[in-house]
Amino acid sequence: MRSSSIFWGVHLFLAITIFMVACKTEPKINNEDPVPEKELADGNYPYGRLSTYGFFTGELNELSPIKDVLPYKPASSLFTDYALKSRFIFFPEGEKATLTSNEFDFPKGTILIKNFYYPVDFRKPEGIRRIIETRLLINEKNGWVAYPYIWNESQTEAILKVVGGQMEVSFTDATGKDQVINYIVPNKNQCKTCHNKNETLAPIGVKVQHLNNELEYSSGESNQLAHWTELGKLEGFEGKNAHPAMINYEDKNLPLNDRAMAYLDINCSHCHSAEGPASTSGLFLTYDQTDPRKLGINKIPVAAGNGAGTFDFDIVPGKADESIITHRMNSTEVGIAMPELGRTTVHKEGVQLIKDWINGMKEAR
């Protein structure tokens, strides 16, 4: 009887030990939203918690990057319901990106980290803030893969949610008015809708024309691509003047046409380009587009459906209020609103910029 007790006691001890060891293993995915095995490009990612990656030091919500995680900032920012963003890039140890014919080729293991947040008061953007989500783009074995992480209320952690999410966000805007936004975090599959280049998932903001500008570092101001080159993270950058560079469309001191083209490029061209999912529309809104018809001037849309409203042309020179492009930008209705994803509100300043641009066109352009 005693030996039987010892036998079961030993087995119970072994079971408890195995259970405790297993509990110490950090899960690679969130059990609430498991990622199907076919979605894992190489099986290394994703982790269930943002903190597991080790991108940041100190309190997670301070977003203070470790040495190997570099900040970056496009000249112009894609509009996402007025959310502010902080962006970082991680290069695998000993690896570097190459720049050829103004196209980046990033090494496997590169991770783009994009955090979306709202200041409590936009008049004090450096004050108290609420981080809503962090999106990761990871260059895995079979290409780029997107993973959305949603932050908890206590701002101590962000959890992988492949199904996305929805939450109410309130803040005081730059004019002192209280605002409430129904913020939507896209699900994993929706990321492919915009991050689409020749039917493969690809970055939007990390392009040479967006990053060929200055950024403030702890060591001082420097061109971002020159900085990467100095750190041994980039090969092929031949100096700012050797590559295209875009401007910040929010800078009202710059030429109206340049601002409008910068806005259309960062907000629209990932779909409306020869390599994007809207290529069949014939409307190509890249920063370097000069063909009036491809810009939509006096162009009848291919298949706008209800999105065209009562209007006939994408752009009517001198008549912004009769142009389909501003009609769609000024709507949040499904089937009309453009872009189709990424916003639940109208970007009033963006709409006004494009209206000013169209109204300033000569009819004979």
Per-residue burial over 220-259, b if 16 or more Cβ lie within 10 Å, else e, is: eeebbbebbbeeebbebbeeeeebebbbbbeeeeeeeeeb
CA-nearest of 231, 234, 207 to 218 is 231
Query: What was the pLDDT predicted at 304?
Result: 61
Beta strands in 276-336 (DSSP E): none
Beta strands in 218-307 (DSSP E): 220-223, 234-235
Query: What was the pLDDT predicted at 192?
Result: 62
Query: What was the pLDDT predicted at 228?
Result: 98
Query: What was the pLDDT predicted at 277?
Result: 82
| Contact (CB, 8 A) for 105 and 207 | no
Q: What distance in Å separates the CA atoms of residue 309 and residue 125, rounded to the nearest whole number?
A: 38
Query: What was the pLDDT predicted at 32?
Result: 42
CA-nearest of 143, 142, 135, 206 to 165 is 135
- Each domain of the chain, given as residue ranges in start order, spans 37-242, 256-359
Render each residue's pLDDT in the chain as its tens digit; 365 residues: 444 443 344 344 434 333 333 333 333 333 344 444 444 445 577 999 999 999 999 999 999 999 999 999 999 999 999 999 999 999 999 999 999 999 999 999 999 999 999 999 999 999 999 999 999 999 998 899 999 999 999 999 999 999 999 999 999 999 999 999 999 998 777 666 566 665 677 888 899 999 999 999 988 999 999 999 999 999 999 999 999 999 999 999 999 999 999 999 999 998 988 888 888 888 999 999 999 999 999 999 886 667 788 899 999 999 999 999 999 999 988 888 888 777 889 999 999 999 999 999 986 44
